[in-house]
A and B are shown apart, each in its own frame.
Chain A
Amino acid sequence: MKLSRRDALAVGIGGMALAVLAPAAYAAAEDAAIATFTGGAALGTGGLTLTLPEIAENGNTVPVSVDAPGAVAIMILAPGNPTPEVATFNFGPAAGSQKAGTRMRLAKTQDVIAIAKMSDGKFVKVTSTVKVTIGGCGG
């Protein structure tokens, strides 16, 4: 196929449009994950602590912990990853506290989100920025 100048221009513009759309696609995946968890309920603040390092040298293993007294479930999201979901903790009747920790992968510097479902049915959200030196999702 021979590209005329006009075609070449159209391809260029198309490429740029895709590049602009890509972050929007990420945001959609994140919103969908939040909607699945909350059922579209409004997100409040307070009562939820998200503990993360300020700078993660290795994105392959970033320690993360969440603490929300009175929560029944806590979800962690990393919107900058290929898939935003990280983990969901559901606390049972024998839980000693609504606190849990794990280690996660972060592809790049981003705002990590935690959302807790409280026992009264309300949802609270907190975000925290992590600077990632070496991304950890393979490639």
Chain B
Amino acid sequence: MASNVTPRVKVPATAKVGDVITIKTLISHPMISGQTKDKDGKPIPREIINRFTCDFNGKNVIDMTLDPAISTNPYIEFDAKIDAAGDFKFTWYDDDGSVYSDSKTIALG
């Protein structure tokens, strides 16, 4: 299991109804592709984050499938439409079964 996996998410604190906001996420993770070898020449088994989802007040914003070609510390940027104040829930799914999550609240203003 990957150690020190820390999700970081940037969401504006406030928005107006109808605004489209850009959300930026980064999670520290080695994203071992399965193509690399250790110093004895043995392949290092694949261990990546294979799925990322974002929901706003229970409605899905984005559901992304990640493959081994995604860089270390996966960065994901996308847009969400704000129709009310509420909570964003972010979830990352690891190959080893771990689930990492984060949430952010946005207010109207």
Contacts and interface: CB of A to CB of B under 8 A. Distances in A.
Interface residues of A, number: 33
B69 A89 contact: no
Nearest to A62: B71
B64 A90 contact: yes
Interface string A120-139: 00000000000000001111
B62 A139 contact: no
Contact of B59 (A94, A100, A106): A94
A101 to B, nearest CB: 4
A102 B33 contact: no
B61 A105 contact: no
B85 interface: no
A92 B59 contact: yes
B35 A137 contact: yes
B78 A100 contact: yes
Interface stretch (A9-17, A18-26, A39-47, A78-86): A78-86
Decide if the interface of chain A is mainly helix, strand, loop or mixed.
strand
User: On chain B, which size bracket covers the interface?
Assistant: 20 to 34
Contacts of A95: 61-62, 78-81
Given A65-B77, A96-B21, A139-B36, A91 B69 contact: no
A55 interface: no
Interface string B42-73: 00000000000001110111111111111110
Given A87-B66, A94-B57, A103-B75, 13 more contacts: A60-B72, A85-B67, A86-B67, A89-B62, A92-B63, A94-B60, A96-B78, A96-B80, A99-B79, A100-B78, A101-B75, A102-B70, A104-B71
20 contacts: A78-B69, A86-B69, A89-B62, A89-B78, A91-B62, A92-B62, A94-B55, A94-B56, A96-B21, A96-B22, A96-B82, A97-B79, A101-B77, A102-B70, A102-B74, A102-B77, A103-B74, A103-B75, A105-B69, A138-B37
